């Protein structure tokens, strides 16, 4: 095989592998809502997201629900992902009343998504 053909074959192989790798990277985009707990210690957030990677294989909408101690930059205590959501448009979340509902004593939180309600106990609330 000539060196030119070998370099061309190697270049095509590298390009195909890079495109395949890019297809598996998620670039989440979307929005959501957050709410502080009644005791002011925790933050609950629910987001409606879609993979906006142009090479991405999965473009379905999914929900991400998290509970954190303190602000949004702290690591999550609890994180749940519902994939895929039963919607075709991530803006359908805006039609739901009370996306996040805290218990009075801040020991649990209920998330409402298009797929249903999810109640989460806050592990460090006691």
Determine, yes or no, domain membership for 126: no
Q: How far apart are CA 9 and CA 78, in angstroms?
A: 47
Check residues 103 and 2 and name the one with the higher pLDDT: 103
Q: How far apart are CA 87 and CA 96, in angstroms?
A: 12
What pLDDT score does 71 carry? Answer: 75
Determine, yes or no, domain membership for 61: yes
Q: How far apart are CA 101 and CA 119, in angstroms?
A: 9
Determine, yes or no, domain membership for 80: yes
What pLDDT score does 39 carry? Answer: 92
Among 55-59, 75-79, 86-90, the minimum mean pLDDT is found in 86-90
Determine, yes or no, domain membership for 102: yes
Tell me how many domains the chain contains: 1
* Boundaries of domain holding 42: 3-121
Determine, yes or no, domain membership for 40: yes
CB atoms within 10 A of CB 101: 15
Selection from 39, 101, 47 nearest residue 70 by Cα:
39
Determine, yes or no, domain membership for 22: yes
The answer, as to whether pTM is greater than 0.75, is no
51 sits in which H/E element: strand 42-51
Q: How far apart are CA 75 and CA 124, in angstroms?
A: 13
**22 pLDDT band (50/70/90 cuts)?**
confident
Selection from 116, 106, 57, 110 nearest residue 85 by Cα:
116
Determine, yes or no, domain membership for 86: yes
What pLDDT score does 125 carry? Answer: 58
Determine, yes or no, domain membership for 68: yes
């Amino acid at each position: 095989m000539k060196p030119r053909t070998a370099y061309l074959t190697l270049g095509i192989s590298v390009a195909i592998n890079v495109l395949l790798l890019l297809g598996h990277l998620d670039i989440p985009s979307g929005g959501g809502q957050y709410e502080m707990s009644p005791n002011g210690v925790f933050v609950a957030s629910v987001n409606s997201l879609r993979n906006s990677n142009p090479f991405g294989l999965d473009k379905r909408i999914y929900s991400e629900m998290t509970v954190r101690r303190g602000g949004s930059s702290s690591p999550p205590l609890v994180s749940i992902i519902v994939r895929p959501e039963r919607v075709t448009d991530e803006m359908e979340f805006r039609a739901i009343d009370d996306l996040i509902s805290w218990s009075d004593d801040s020991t649990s939180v209920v998330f409402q998504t298009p797929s249903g309600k999810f109640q989460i106990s806050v592990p460090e609330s006691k």
